[in-house]
Amino acid sequence: MTSVSDVVYVGLDVHKDTISVAVLGDGDQVPRVDRISSDEAAVRQLFGRFDDPTRLRACYEAGPTGYELFRLLESLRVRCQVIAPSLIPTAPGDKVKTDKRDCARLARLHRAGELTAIRVPTVAEEGVRDLCRARADMVIDGTRAKHRLGKFLLRHGRVWRDGANWTQKHRDWIAGQHFDDAATQITFTHYRATLAAREAAISSIEADLTRYFTAAPFADAVARLAAYRGVTELGGLTLACEVCDWRRFPSAGSFMAFCGLVPSEYSSGQRTLRGHITHAGNLHLRTQLVESAWAYKSRPAAGVLIRRRQQGLSPDVVARAWTAQQRLCGRFRRLDARKSSRHVVVTAIARELSGFVWAEMTH
């Protein structure tokens, strides 16, 4: 067994082409800093210098380079942690940021136990998560295509006044539009073709995602989450693959904070100031929870779709989902009567919904 005195801490500041490395051995006050290439051969050569890789405790910040470095180090028997960047302690007066200082700071804080690690998903979990995120990106692209087409029609005096936008009736009206000018008609055709392509891509990726609703390791989580109003199978899969391990959050409040749905606060002495939600943490979770929260604006009801999703589930799960629906629908109505902005109401409901789904998945 490796003693504490034998442990060597390695802080890594990882970029696309380079990695700055700080090595902090037992008794060292100042880490040894080096810079290597970020390719696999250079990493293997660096850690191959150490006689016993089990003595090493490496860490790096989560970022755009993903988890491939983590998996490589694990294969080399090096214990590695991926650190949440927003939770790294910083000194208020420290205004100098360089790669050398960053990796040295990581090594020192890692030795002091001041860093918060994130859970690294498996390759399969990360693949499904990427597929869900790709679908979210395509939805955004589709919304932008709708806006461009709508604004184009508005610029040319074609205004729809016969109901909601993007119903079948509205789409039929758009299809019947024609412009005498050739260039304008070509532009209109391209805008419609772009929208059709975006919607086809969304339908295709959603069809690809359906196979994972009932596949391990997501099947149980998807079924239980989809019992809740506003959370479809696709929404349940998004929540499940973004969180993976629900028990890493010790309380509902910690999960709410991870979603960025808790109010920001600045309190000093007798003064307590709370502001907007922090927007910290996982954007994809927060977006899904806010989208689901809109479903609670109506009165509680067990509709056909909810009953279908609840078939075969434990009566306890169904009962908890019904309790959540009664609570959240009532709270939505009360807040909506008091608040001037419905977006504030929806955010509050999303925060409380996150507590219900956390309780469901840790029950």
The angle at the Cα of 344, spanning 342 to 347, to the nearest 5 degrees, equals: 110
Angle between helices 40-47 and 68-75 (to 10 degrees): 40
For residue range 313-324, what is the model confidence (pLDDT) as tens digits?
A: 999 999 999 999
Per-residue confidence (pLDDT) for residue 4, from 0 to 100: 54
The H or E element spanning position 303 is none
SS3 state at 348: helix
- CA 235, CA 322: separation in Å to the nearest integer? 18
Q: How confident is the model at residue 281 (pLDDT cuts 50, 70, 90)?
A: confident
Which DSSP symbol is given to 117? B
| Mean pLDDT for the stretch of residues 200-217 | 96
pLDDT at 1 over 50: no
For residue range 245-262, what is the model confidence (pLDDT) as tens digits?
A: 898 899 999 999 989 998
Token duo for residue 32: 């040894």
Percent of the chain's residues with pLDDT above 90: 85
- For β-strands 32-37 and 18-24, DSSP reports them as antiparallel
Contact criterion met (CB below 8 Å) for 145 and 194: yes
Contact criterion met (CB below 8 Å) for 135 and 100: no
pLDDT at 275 over 50: yes
Token duo for residue 355: 């507590």
Q: How confident is the model at residue 280 (pLDDT cuts 50, 70, 90)?
A: confident
Token duo for residue 42: 């250079």
Listed in sequence order, the residues at least 6 apart from 76 whose beta carbon sits closer than 8 Å to its beta carbon are 44, 47, 53
DSSP symbols for 270-298: TEEEEEEE---S-HHHHHHHHHHHGGGGS
Helices (H), 156-282: 168-175, 182-209, 219-225, 233-243, 252-258
Nearest CA to 57 among 70, 42, 40? 70
Per-residue confidence (pLDDT) for residue 5, from 0 to 100: 58
pLDDT at 41 over 70: yes
Q: What global pTM score does this model have?
A: 0.87
* Count of helix runs (H) and strand runs (E) in the chain: 13, 7
117-131, 241-255, 275-289, 339-353: which range is least confident on average? 275-289
For residue range 327-342, what is the model confidence (pLDDT) as tens digits?
A: 999 999 999 999 999 9
pLDDT at 134 over 90: yes
